[in-house]
Structure 1
Amino acid sequence: MEILMSPHPETPHASAGVAFIVNKTLIKPRKCTVSELVEGRALALKIEWLESETTTLINVYAPNNKSEHPTFWERVDTASQAYGLGRPNFLLGDFNLVEDPIDWAPAHQDDANADTWRHHNPTDRCFTYRANVNSQQIQSRIDRIYIARRTAELTYDWKIAPTSVPMDHWITMVKYAPTEAPVLGNGRWSLKPHMLNDKKVLKEIDKRGIALEDRLIEIQRNNPPRDNANPQLLNNIEHCNINAKQ
């Protein structure tokens, strides 16, 4: 795990703060570049996958006071331009506002735009934040992920779920496969576990194994041209014959 973070300059251990955690057992990017756009409030991560494939993410923790939002977003935009980030593929985090009345409980309007999760789930109600205010429970979906149109078609499996650590926010998740990502197959061929107790199969494996061993000994003894008798090719042929028969 690699943790890339930007704590709030005034309250580094108490409030705000943004971070990325890169799990290198799941992805192995060629290079990761971090840019601090607004201390403790906005952090950018540019991931280089291949020579022609990069992904830019901006993680934000917008101010609680909505009157501060215009200035905050101006700072984010100015810093993004200064770092030459261009338009990000993903803009995600705690926006401290919602866009549709359906994302509030009790319902009310906050903003009038649309986000990607709502586009995929036009009628669903799923909240990411819960709190009690003036003896009334409120719920809202203030944690969101915005995705560029050019990237949206490469995302799938949207989820909103509780975090493993108890807190008043739920996590919003989506999977993303870059355009040039390698295609993974089904892995090596293998026997089904129950076949290990099949006496006919085991007998056939012994028979084939002995025959293959005899052929390998013959090749080693006579040393014929590799083009006519390749031990590795012979092994593959024998393996394929067993596979096809089963």
Structure 2
Amino acid sequence: MMRTNNIGILAIQETHLTQELVDTLHETFQKSLVIKWSSDPNNTNSKGVAIILNKGLTRWNETEEIELVKGRAMMMTIKWHQEKKLHVLCVYAPNDPNENGDFWKKIDQELREKNLPSPDVMLGDFNMVEDSIDRLKTRNDPVYCTEALRELKRTHHLADGWRRTNGGDKGYTFYQKATKAHSRIDRIYVAENRLASTYEWEIEEAPIQTDHKVVKMTICDPDTPYIGPGRWTLPLPLLKEKELVKKLYEIGMEAQGEMERVKMNRTDERNPQTVLRNFKTSVQECVKGYNKQKMKKINGAIEKLKKDLEDTINDETQDEDRRKEAAAETD
């Protein structure tokens, strides 16, 4: 998942990790990943948080980690661009509302007492929502835990990036099969002064069997220079399309014939170099046109299904059971 989706930092919760298991994972993925983790030594069969770093995309060997709450909260400071640092707080909040509220107060206390910087990113499983819009069936969570989290946010100037980006839309990250309830308990908060440098906020399916979805976003250094998309390449799966291959063959045969003809009458405008250039241009235009038509049909069907589901989820005039069924179809 991290390699195919270009994920640099992945935070996971309820990990149940042990040193033996982490050593095995490091040995298996020694070239690509490094795992920083925290568990409750008195109960390794519950709780647990971890931050996994992609060695190809991060300065993974220049990090500092501090446990704020064993198995529940871990702060990582990682070198970013030049001498800049990124402070990432991974959390896994308790289910019990009173313990949940105490948890946010404990984090604020630990940050103050240990003289730690405010997190640039706070992410994980919050086991509560701030507003009823993030639950289906809609309901408010206990005031004690919601106010404790809001106070932590106010103190450290954190914002819910997905909600800021999507306004009043509904999106859910957790599905409880027993009650068929949906909620957005998995969230990413970003420092207000970095929010403008985030984009591609998404909720998507996890690549493994789980009742949680993945929340993703991209954060960049506003001082980083723009880098273009790079050189165009032919999508390899298209080489299995017989109709397209036939067209490319015809373009190639035409170019080959033209190459033979310019040998007898070479000019500045008509020579092997211009033939090759025109051949590559023709191939690119042919592939792009074919792919556009093919993907237009597929994406059109997918987008229509997504739109129908989103409309149903957000239509409060619909029967709540129908909205639940629609939300379940996105899981």
TM-score w.r.t. the length of structure 1 is: 0.72
SS at 1:86 equivalent: coil
1:38 to 42, 45, 69: 69
Paired position in structure 2 for 1:2: 34
Cα offset for 1:64?
0.7
Cα offset for 1:243?
6.9
**Which whole-Å deviations, capped at 9, do the CAs of 1:207-233 have from their partners, x for residues lacking one?**
xxxxxxxxxxxxxxxxxxxxxxxxxxx
Paired position in structure 1 for 2:201: 158
Q: Does structure 1 residue 169 correspond to structure 2 residue 212?
A: yes
Paired position in structure 2 for 1:128: 173
Asked if structure 2 preserves the Cα contact closer than 8 Å seen for 1:160 and 1:170, the reply is yes
Higher helix share: 2
Q: 1:200 to 1:29 in 2, by over 3 A?
A: farther
Alpha-carbon separation, structure 2, partners of 1:177 and 1:205: 50
Paired position in structure 2 for 1:56: 87
Gaps of 5+ in 1: 207-238
Cα offset for 1:151?
0.8
2:118 to 87, 106, 114: 87
**Which whole-Å deviations, capped at 9, do the CAs of 1:158-181 have from their partners, x for residues lacking one?**
111121111111111111112343
Asked if structure 1 preserves the Cα contact closer than 8 Å seen for 2:65 and 2:76, the reply is yes
Cα offset for 1:182?
4.8
Alpha-carbon separation, structure 2, partners of 1:144 and 1:53: 25
Equivalent pairs counted in the alignment come to 213
User: RMSD over aligned Cα, in angstroms?
Assistant: 3.4
Paired position in structure 2 for 1:225: none
Cα offset for 1:53?
1.7
**Which whole-Å deviations, capped at 9, do the CAs of 1:184-212 have from their partners, x for residues lacking one?**
33446899x96866237857999xxxxxx
The share of aligned pairs that are identical, in percent, is 33
Query: Counterparts of 1:82-231 in structure 2 under 5 Å?
Result: 82-110=113-141, 111=146, 115-133=160-178, 136-187=179-230, 198-199=255-256
Alpha-carbon separation, structure 2, partners of 1:83 and 1:199: 72
Q: 1:159 to 1:205 in 2, by over 3 A?
A: farther
Gaps of 5+ in 2: 1-32, 151-158, 235-244, 264-272, 282-331
Deviates more, 1:166-175 or 1:179-188: 179-188
Q: Does structure 1 residue 18 correspond to structure 2 residue 75?
A: no
SS at 1:75 equivalent: helix
For residue 199 of structure 1, what is the amino acid of its counterpart? Q
Alpha-carbon separation, structure 2, partners of 1:205 and 1:23: 51
Deviates more, 1:23-32 or 1:54-63: 23-32
Q: 1:243 to 1:79 in 2, by over 3 A?
A: farther
Asked if structure 1 preserves the Cα contact closer than 8 Å seen for 2:65 and 2:77, the reply is yes
TM-score w.r.t. the length of structure 2 is: 0.55
Alpha-carbon separation, structure 2, partners of 1:94 and 1:186: 34
Q: Does structure 1 residue 77 correspond to structure 2 residue 108?
A: yes
SS at 2:55 equivalent: coil
Paired position in structure 1 for 2:323: none
Where in structure 1 do 4 or more consecutive aligned residues deviate above 4 Å?
A: 188-191, 193-197, 200-206
